[in-house]
């Protein structure tokens, strides 16, 4: 099918909603019911954030009575190792948590980790419905990025227009290797019920960079990173 571009103003609106949802979740989590830094504290914090984000994305839904839950596995550097899953809000998930092993989020750039078998479709993806339009597909990808909440994603920013791109790459120390012809996220649906998405992401981690991230959304709704293409490189960023 033909590529469909998501207008910059739509991207700006959605990312502003998500930023506001994060702030709401932070405010709620600032009075924790569990000891700070404990596994229960982080699980509660991520669950509140997931609920806040899903509440502002109108084209992505869970069935009534279901919520996103988490298992927290610890830290790796500055990254919090978590895994989201869906369960009924009334379910005691302590036993389920013990059965779920950690694995990297779908935006992991390590090629050796991308082919590992997971049960994410059963535990997470299959529970969602979303509008089968370019914007619905894009909102679903945004939702899953937020739910996995990798450090790479939390510190990244979507570049959706030329002004934002130039505002970064015209600063001192930047080099553009592959100048984009278009800046908006693009969605290409397929005949099997899946789609591919390509999005420009600015990251300040390590060395500042802008990458074109291309992902596959399968007919089973699973998210897979296909490739990341370097677009522009900047000076040294920061580490976590």
124, 51 Cβ separation under 8 angstroms:
no
Q: Is the pLDDT of residue 29 over 90?
A: no
Which segment of 22-31, 72-81, 140-149 scores lowest on mean pLDDT? 22-31
The pLDDT of residue 218 is 95
The pLDDT of residue 27 is 84
**In sequence order, what are the residues at sequence separation of 6 or more whose Cβ sits closer than 8 angstroms to the Cβ of residue 126?**
220, 221
Q: Is the pLDDT of residue 37 over 80?
A: no
Distance CA 45, CA 30 (A): 9
68, 36 Cβ separation under 8 angstroms:
no
pTM of the model: 0.93
- Split at pLDDT 50, 70, 90, the class of 160 is very high
Distance CA 35, CA 228 (A): 38
- Split at pLDDT 50, 70, 90, the class of 63 is very high
């Amino acid at each position: 099918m033909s590529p469909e571009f998501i207008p910059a103003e739509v991207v700006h609106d959605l990312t502003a909603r998500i930023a506001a949802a994060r702030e709401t979740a932070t405010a709620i989590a600032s009075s924790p019911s569990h000891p700070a830094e404990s596994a229960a504290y982080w699980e509660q914090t991520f669950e509140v954030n997931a609920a806040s984000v899903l509440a502002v994305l109108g084209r992505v839904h869970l069935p009534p009575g279901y919520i996103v839950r988490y298992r927290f596995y610890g830290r790796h550097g500055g990254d919090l190792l978590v895994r989201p899953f869906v369960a009924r809000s009334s379910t005691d998930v302590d036993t389920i948590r013990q059965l779920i092993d950690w694995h990297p989020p779908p935006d992991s750039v390590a090629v050796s980790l991308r082919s590992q078998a997971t049960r994410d479709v059963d535990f997470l993806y299959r529970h969602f419905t979303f509008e089968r339009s370019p914007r619905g597909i894009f909102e679903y990808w945004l939702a899953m990025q937020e739910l996995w909440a990798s450090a790479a994603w939390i510190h990244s920013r979507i570049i959706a227009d030329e002004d934002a791109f130039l505002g970064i790459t015209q600063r001192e120390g930047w080099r553009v290797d592959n100048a984009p012809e278009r800046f908006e996220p693009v969605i290409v649906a397929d005949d099997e019920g899946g789609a591919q998405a390509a999005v420009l992401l600015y990251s300040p981690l390590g060395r500042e960079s802008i990458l074109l991230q291309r992902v596959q959304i399968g007919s089973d709704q699973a998210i897979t990173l296909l490739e990341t293409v370097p677009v522009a490189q900047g000076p040294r960023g920061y580490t976590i």
